[in-house]
Amino acid sequence: MNPLDQLTLDQLRERRSFKWAHYDADVIPMFVAEMDVPLAPPIREALERAIAIGDTGYPGSWPMVDEFIAFAGRRWGWEIDPRLVAPAPAVIPAYVDAFVEDTEPGDEVIITAPVYPPFTTYLRQAGRVVTEAPLTEDLRLDLAALEAAFEAATAPREGSTQRRAAGFLLCNPHNPGGTVHTRAELEAVAALAHRYDVTVVSDEIHAPLVYTGAEFVPYASVDPRGIAIQSASKAFNLAAMPAAQTIVGEERRSWLAQFRKGAHGHPTYLGTVAASVAYREGDAWLAGLLAGLEANRDTMLDLVATSLPGVTASPNPATFLAWLDFRGTAAAGGRDLGDEPATALLKEGRVALNPGTSFGGGGVGHARLNFAAPPAVLREGLARIASVVTG
């Protein structure tokens, strides 16, 4: 069963979450990373049971962690020592806390732009200097750029001989565009991180959303000093009920024990209920979702190639977040949509994409499109984009 064709546009418009409530009712929302799916039935039943008896307190035990370990073993053949996993409130606070633990205010955290905008926002709020090491044009890691950034970020301050602490926030699979980093790339990152003593945190929130032909490699399985954050929230559409897991490589066992003693908040109880059931009973639903998303991805690539002159789309071997490049539209006989194509698309086409420049360097002339929509809504959204581009 394809969860993406279960809800009608009218039902979706009843939703009050950000995706469906932010714009007027004539806009097709293809921006924030919410999916247009009903909950997987076992998750819905577990939440309904909890709510029926007012079971809405604090989390008391962590079946979510054990269920995650079992899920990771089935899915990626990743054998995780339970002592290397800790519950986390959500993905963003988990990576911020990890860098706060390992660096000082004023130290640098490197990100690979274009990337999910909160990679910058919250680290800046935590007093870290965020530095971009750009991805290549085809959205892959540029190891030479990363090495230069590691070198610069760890160089001693004037008057000191002591190298500075620094961090690298990796996104795997990458948002936007869904690049799945290869084992060789991750091993190269780990080697650089060891050479410069940089703390690597890998945001793996999109890891269950990898399509046929690509292989997700967990960072903490290639780097004994790595830190990874996982969550069921993207793959099972659970952003309303935050919960996540921090997983570390084996050389960080005592680091994690220490880290857990600090006050880092905890997941919402309902988040742990939903995540536990997702990991334990969600495989069949997830298989249906992946087939539906992969079909949508192919529709998106096909329609971009055939009806959006001069636009190119990321191949998206993973995630439902495509990266569209509008810079070639004028040369292909279409309209020039300028540096921020999302502006004209919203105003004239009544279709909402994320503005490319909010993803940092490399975002000019781009926009991010969320294709986790009913197939008919996806087609309508792309038809609206086509009408603006062809003018």
Ligand X SMILES: Cc1ncc(COP(=O)(O)O)c(C=O)c1O
Chain residues binding ligand X by CB under 6 A are 33, 90-92, 116, 171, 175, 203, 205, 231, 233, 239, 242, 244
Quick one: 231 or 329, whose CB is closer to ligand X? 231
Stated as kind and residue range, the H or E segment containing 194 is helix 183-196
Angle, CA 181 vertex, CA 204 and CA 329 arms, to 5°: 100
Please report how close the Cβ of residue 31 comes to ligand X at its closest, in angstroms. 11
Quick one: 192 or 239, whose CB is closer to ligand X? 239
Please report how close the Cβ of residue 65 comes to ligand X at its closest, in angstroms. 16
Please report how close the Cβ of residue 332 comes to ligand X at its closest, in angstroms. 30
**Alpha helices, DSSP H, located in 105-142:** 118-125
Quick one: 253 or 266, whose CB is closer to ligand X? 266
Phi, psi of 350 (to 5 degrees): 55, 50
Please report how close the Cβ of residue 33 comes to ligand X at its closest, in angstroms. 4
Angle, CA 349 vertex, CA 346 and CA 355 arms, to 5°: 30
Quick one: 296 or 370, whose CB is closer to ligand X? 370
In angstroms, the CA 214 to CA 317 distance is: 6
Please report how close the Cβ of residue 206 comes to ligand X at its closest, in angstroms. 6
Q: Evaluate whether 391 touches 335 at the Cβ level (below 8 Å).
A: yes
Cβ-based burial of 347 (10 A; exposed 0-12, middle 13-18, buried ≥19) = exposed
**Strands 244-248 and 85-88: what pairing?**
antiparallel
| Rounded CA Rg of the chain | 21
**Alpha helices, DSSP H, located in 218-326:** 253-261, 269-281, 283-307
Please report how close the Cβ of residue 383 comes to ligand X at its closest, in angstroms. 26
In angstroms, the CA 303 to CA 386 distance is: 9
Largest Cα separation within the chain, whole Å, is 64
Please report how close the Cβ of residue 90 comes to ligand X at its closest, in angstroms. 3
Using DSSP, state whether 87 is helix, strand or coil: strand
Please report how close the Cβ of residue 240 comes to ligand X at its closest, in angstroms. 10
Please report how close the Cβ of residue 311 comes to ligand X at its closest, in angstroms. 23
Quick one: 242 or 362, whose CB is closer to ligand X? 242
Please give the distance of CA 47 from its chain centroid, rounded to a whole number.
Answer: 24
- Give the position of tokens 């690298």: 168
Strand order, beta sheet including 354-355: 312-313, 321-325, 366-370, 354-355
Quick one: 264 or 384, whose CB is closer to ligand X? 264
Residue 173 identity: P
Quick one: 72 or 228, whose CB is closer to ligand X? 228
Please report how close the Cβ of residue 88 comes to ligand X at its closest, in angstroms. 8
How many helices (H) and strands (E) would you count in the chain?
Answer: 13, 13
In angstroms, the CA 99 to CA 183 distance is: 24
**Strands 366-370 and 244-248: what pairing?**
unpaired
Quick one: 175 or 272, whose CB is closer to ligand X? 175
Quick one: 154 or 314, whose CB is closer to ligand X? 314
Quick one: 170 or 388, whose CB is closer to ligand X? 170
The DSSP secondary-structure symbol of 139 reads: S
